[in-house]
Structure formats: structure tokens, C-alpha cells
């Protein structure tokens, strides 16, 4: 018999040169929502995140901190792990590229590439962008105001001249184009796919895959003078995480190829061009999808350490609440586009969607039940057309949300839920259960029962986005822990009339920002 369907999702592994910021939290949050959704949907999920600890940039940062690179990476990697716990991320594994298991994987993939004739020894003379750990062709350089040469990302480049092994990337142009054509959803969003296609159609140069001018990296097997280029090392983490080099292991067999590598737009080329080429050359399967999300700016400005406008996710959470921040980041901006963070938008969104719409719906329904139905789930009675229509909309949400999440359209998934939140609020106004209390108490119970069922569906389906708030909402509906998966959606596991409910408490308080926005 076949087991459950599996789902393997990965975040990029984060450079340990600096403190984690909102951009890092954003990428992992998106993966967390997908992992939680799939688990609740019955999938066997593997969710991998971690830290990228080798390379010239990290070596330089360690030297600047006057620390040994190992001690330095231990310290910064810990910050990323702590942030993941703080944000309530549900990863199954946290990989560090300085681990033994990863050394074995990198050296093995190198050998496979070499044995198959895809690697040759030469020498590199050209420009290198240390910030992005990228070799930059002369044709892509620009000159900054102070006369310094800059990579397309705006980072300064330095001249590098050293013996180097090369990967025959030039030979992979046609196979890659063929692969993209056969797998039209390999790169999302579409606009990003087009960018990659035109880059590859423009011709590919062989890629330098080893360095000799510094030591902080994985030694090239059989030639200790070289360390592996940090991107070949880093990308390999995705297979180390599932047991590679043991391709016969149950983990590798179950989870590889990955369903999704989530990345920011700045690192798409590494994931959508180099990585599938390395894998195909090593006779390993490429992943199924790479999604490139956009970048956040801060109140209209590019986020950068030198400008000093880095957004610390911890500060945001302390100010606005974890679930509020998780909701905002995925609702405010269509996923894939760039977005601007502003405190005003954060307050506005939270008060509108969470406090007024969702929170108020739950609060007023649960208070009415507490006051008028003896603090227990009301009787379902005989539902009418209006009740059935609303319940049917609640039952349809699961398929709607799943469809949006399959293409990483988080904002649209939330819109599916909010369509029902709005319909439920309109239903409360229209049915006016506070009037029915006197005129038709049985009908009042049916209306409140219908609403409680709709809230149960909303809270179940919103769990991946706002795990804490939804947990509290489900507690208030006395939904037991073993009835919180998506198998419990629909009428088969509906609330049981007469079940005692705890005293209702508000879940999404209204926020007030420094400018007074949000004060009622």
C-alpha cells in the first residue's frame, strides 16, 4: 500500500556574517506556512532550514570580529536558530554547512561530477563580488560614483587571479532550456522564469568552482590546495538534509527531489541555473520548483546595514504580536512582488483584518453563545437556505486555499479565508441573533451554531498562518487536539451541541501606533 504523499520544502541557508533580519524571517515564514499546511493535510513533510557558514565573506566577518571562523559561525548560527524558535517555525531539521554530514555530501557530489568529466582544472582571472559570493563577468560591471567597479547587485568587486577548477556549465545550456520547457512551473513567478530563460539563452560560461586564495571551505577531494566554491557547497545542503550521499537511504528515496526551494529573487540564478545543472551532471534529479519572492524595503528605503534601517523581527513581534506579524508579511504584498514595510500599514492591516473582521466575528459569536446558550455549543436545529449557503462556503475553503498555496499565492489563500469572514459578518448582521433571542430562540441557536461551525473551519484553516491565535480560538470552541487536522473539516466532525465551552476572551486586540492611528 502507498504511504502518505510527501512534501519536501527548503529555505535558503543563511550567511552567518550578520544578525538575522526581516528578509530572513520572511523566507522561512513562507516555508513554515507551507510545511504546516501540508502536515495538517496529511502529507509526510520535511522542512529544512539552516546556515551557510563557509566562504570568503564569512571568513572576513570572523576576522573583523577578531574570532576564529568556527567560533564565529557557532555564535551567529545560534542567533538564526533562536530566531526560528522565536518565530514559531516548525522546521524538521536545521543544517549547518560546517557539519560532518555536509562535508561528506559535498565531497561526494564533487567526485561524481569529476568522474563524469564535468570538472577540469584551469585558472580564474576576473572579478569577484564577496558580498554575494559571485564571479562577475566584465560585461555586467558598472562604475560607482567614487570610480569603484560594481556588480549588478551594487556590491563592490575585487580582482581575483588564481588556479581554479571549472564546471562545464557551457555544456548545459540546451539541457537546461529543454528542462525548463518540459517543466513550465519549475521557476515561479512567470516573470522570473522569463528572466532566467533569457539569461540561459544568452549563453553560459564555464563556472569556477574552487578557490585557492583562502582556506575557509570544504577541501576539494584529492587536491587540498583548493576549497570548494561556496555556492556549490551551499546548494548541496538540500541533498545533505535528506541523507545524501546515501542515495539508497529511505530519507533520500522519500523526499528527493524537493518539491520546493523557496528563495529571494537575488539568488534565483544560483538555484534555477547552476543547481539543476550540477544535479543533472551528477546524474541526480533536479528539484521540482524554485520560487523567487520579492524584497522588503523599510518605509520606502532599501534595507541595509550601512543605512542602519534593518528591521529586527523580534522588535516587530514584541510590538505587534507574533501572529499579527506573520499575517501581515504574507497578506500585505502579493507573494513574489517587492513590498514596503511601514508601521502605519502594519497597524492598519492588523486592526482591519484581524481585530475588526476575524477577531470581532469570533468574539461576538462566542460572547452571544456564552450569554444566551448556557456557555455550551448551541443546538443545530433545522438549517435554512442562508445557513446552508454560508456552511457550503466554509466547506469550500479547503480546496480554495490548497489551490492557492500550490502556487505559493499566500495573499490569495488568505483572501479565500477572508471572503468567508466577511460573509459570516454579513450573515450575523442580517440574521440579528440578538433580536431572535426574544422572537425565536430556536432560530437564534441555529444561527449561532452555524457561525460557530464557520469559525471552526476558519480557525482550522488559518492555523498554518497564525498557529498561536488559531490554537486559542479552537480551545474556545472546545475542539480537542486530535480534531485539528484538515481531515476534521466538513460536517463529519462538526461541533457537538451541548459541549461546554470555556469563557470567551478576545484574540486580536486593536493596535495603536505612535501617530495615534488605530485609536478608536
Contact set with ligand MSP (CB under 6 A): 12-15, 23-24, 26-27, 52, 234-235, 237, 263-264, 266-267, 295-296, 303
User: What sign for the dihedral angle of Cα 415, 416, 421, 423?
Assistant: positive
Taking the least distance from each CB to ligand MSP, the nearer of 227 and 420 is 227
DSSP output for 358-374: IIHHHHHHHHHHHHHST
Q: Which residue of this chain has its Cβ atom nearest to ligand MSP in the complex? A: 264
Cell, residue 45: 513533510
C-alpha pair distances (Å), 225 with each of 48, 218, 344: 32, 11, 54
Cell, residue 373: 446558550
Taking the least distance from each CB to ligand MSP, the nearer of 237 and 476 is 237
Q: How far apart are alpha carbons 415 and 392 in whole angstroms?
A: 17
Q: List strand residue ranges (DSSP E) for 30-174, in order.
A: 44-52, 93-96, 119-129, 134-136, 142-143, 149-150, 158-167
DSSP output for 485-496: SGGG-SGGGPPP
Taking a C-beta distance cutoff of 8 angstroms, is the pair 26, 262 a contact? no
Q: Which of 138, 121, 120 lies closest to 129, judged by CA?
A: 138
What three-state secondary structure class fits 311?
coil
Q: Which of 260, 207, 212, 195 lies closest to 231, judged by CA?
A: 207
Minimal distance, residue 24 CB to ligand MSP, in Å: 5
Taking a C-beta distance cutoff of 8 angstroms, is the pair 401, 461 a contact? yes
DSSP output for 87-101: TT---SEEEETTSHH
Minimal distance, residue 336 CB to ligand MSP, in Å: 12
Minimal distance, residue 39 CB to ligand MSP, in Å: 23
Q: List strand residue ranges (DSSP E) for 170-314, in order.
A: 187-188, 207-208, 210-211, 219-220, 223-228, 260-264, 290-293, 296-298, 301-302
Q: How far apart are alpha carbons 22 and 311 in whole angstroms?
A: 6
Q: 51 forms bridges with which residues in the sheet? A: 14, 96
Taking the least distance from each CB to ligand MSP, the nearer of 52 and 353 is 52
Minimal distance, residue 55 CB to ligand MSP, in Å: 8
Taking the least distance from each CB to ligand MSP, the nearer of 311 and 469 is 311
3-state secondary structure 459-472: HHHHCCCCHHHHHH
Q: Which phi and psi angles does 507 have, rounded to 5°?
A: -110, -35
Q: Which helix (H) or strand (E) holds 7?
A: strand 6-10
Amino acid at each position: 500500500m502507498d504511504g502518505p504523499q510527501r512534501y519536501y520544502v527548503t529555505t535558503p541557508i543563511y550567511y552567518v556574517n550578520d544578525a538575522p533580519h526581516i528578509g530572513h524571517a520572511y523566507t522561512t515564514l513562507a516555508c513554515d506556512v507551507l510545511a504546516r499546511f501540508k502536515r495538517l493535510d496529511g502529507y509526510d513533510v520535511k522542512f529544512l532550514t539552516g546556515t551557510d557558514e563557509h566562504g570568503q565573506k564569512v571568513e572576513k566577518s570572523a576576522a573583523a570580529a577578531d574570532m576564529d571562523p568556527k567560533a564565529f559561525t557557532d555564535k551567529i548560527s545560534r542567533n538564526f536558530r533562536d530566531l526560528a524558535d522565536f518565530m514559531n517555525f516548525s522546521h524538521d531539521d536545521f543544517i549547518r554547512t560546517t557539519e560532518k554530514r555536509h562535508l561528506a555530501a559535498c565531497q561526494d557530489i564533487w567526485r561524481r561530477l569529476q568522474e563524469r568529466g564535468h570538472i577540469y582544472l584551469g585558472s580564474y582571472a576576473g572579478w569577484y563580488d564577496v558580498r554575494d559570493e559571485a564571479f562577475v563577468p566584465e560585461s555586467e560591471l558598472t562604475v560607482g560614483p567614487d570610480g569603484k567597479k560594481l556588480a549588478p547587485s551594487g556590491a563592490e568587486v575585487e580582482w581575483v587571479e588564481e588556479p581554479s577548477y571549472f564546471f562545464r556549465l557551457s555544456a548545459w545550456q540546451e539541457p537546461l532550456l529543454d528542462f525548463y520547457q518540459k517543466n513550465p512551473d519549475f521557476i515561479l513567478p512567470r516573470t522570473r522564469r522569463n528572466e532566467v530563460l533569457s539569461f540561459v539563452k544568452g549563453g553560459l560560461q564555464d563556472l569556477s568552482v574552487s578557490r585557492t586564495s583562502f582556506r575557509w571551505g570544504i577541501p576539494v577531494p584529492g587536491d587540498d590546495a583548493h576549497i570548494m566554491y561556496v555556492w556549490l557547497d551551499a546548494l548541496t545542503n538540500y541533498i545533505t538534509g535528506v541523507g545524501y550521499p546515501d542515495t539508497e537511504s529511505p530519507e533520500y528515496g522519500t523526499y528527493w527531489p524537493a518539491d520546493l526551494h523557496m528563495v529571494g529573487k537575488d539568488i534565483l540564478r544560483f538555484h534555477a541555473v547552476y543547481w539543476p545543472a550540477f544535479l543533472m551532471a551528477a546524474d541526480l534529479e533536479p528539484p521540482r520548483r524554485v520560487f523567487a519572492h520579492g524584497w522588503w524595503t523599510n518605509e520606502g528605503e532599501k534595507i541595509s546595514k550601512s543605512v542602519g534601517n534593518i528591521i529586527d523581527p523580534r522588535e516587530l513581534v514584541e510590538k505587534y504580536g507574533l501572529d499579527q506579524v506573520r499575517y501581515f508579511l504574507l497578506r500585505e504584498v502579493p507573494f513574489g512582488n517587492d513590498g514596503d514595510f511601514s508601521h502605519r500599514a502594519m497597524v492598519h492591516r492588523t486592526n482591519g483584518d484581524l481585530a475588526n473582521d476575524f477577531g470581532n466575528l469570533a468574539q461576538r459569536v462566542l460572547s452571544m453563545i456564552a450569554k444566551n446558550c448556557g456557555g455550551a455549543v448551541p443546538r443545530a436545529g433545522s438549517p435554512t437556505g442562508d445557513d446552508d449557503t454560508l456552511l457550503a462556503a466554509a466547506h469550500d475553503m479547503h480546496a480554495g486555499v490548497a489551490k492557492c498555496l500550490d502556487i505559493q499565492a499566500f495573499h490569495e489563500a488568505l483572501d479565500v479565508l477572508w471572503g468567508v469572514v466577511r460573509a459570516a459578518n454579513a450573515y450575523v448582521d442580517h440574521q440579528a441573533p440578538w433580536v431572535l433571542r426574544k422572537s425565536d430562540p430556536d432560530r437564534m441557536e441555529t444561527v449561532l451554531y452555524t457561525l460557530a461551525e464557520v469559525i471552526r473551519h476558519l480557525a482550522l484553516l488559518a492555523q498554518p498562518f497564525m498557529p498561536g491565535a488559531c490554537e486559542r480560538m479552537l480551545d474556545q470552541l472546545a475542539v480537542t487536539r486530535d480534531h485539528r487536522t484538515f481531515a476534521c473539516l466538513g460536517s463529519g466532525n462538526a461541533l457537538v451541541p451541548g459541549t461546554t465551552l470555556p469563557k470567551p476572551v478576545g484574540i486580536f486586540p486593536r493596535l495603536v501606533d505612535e501617530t495615534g492611528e488605530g485609536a478608536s
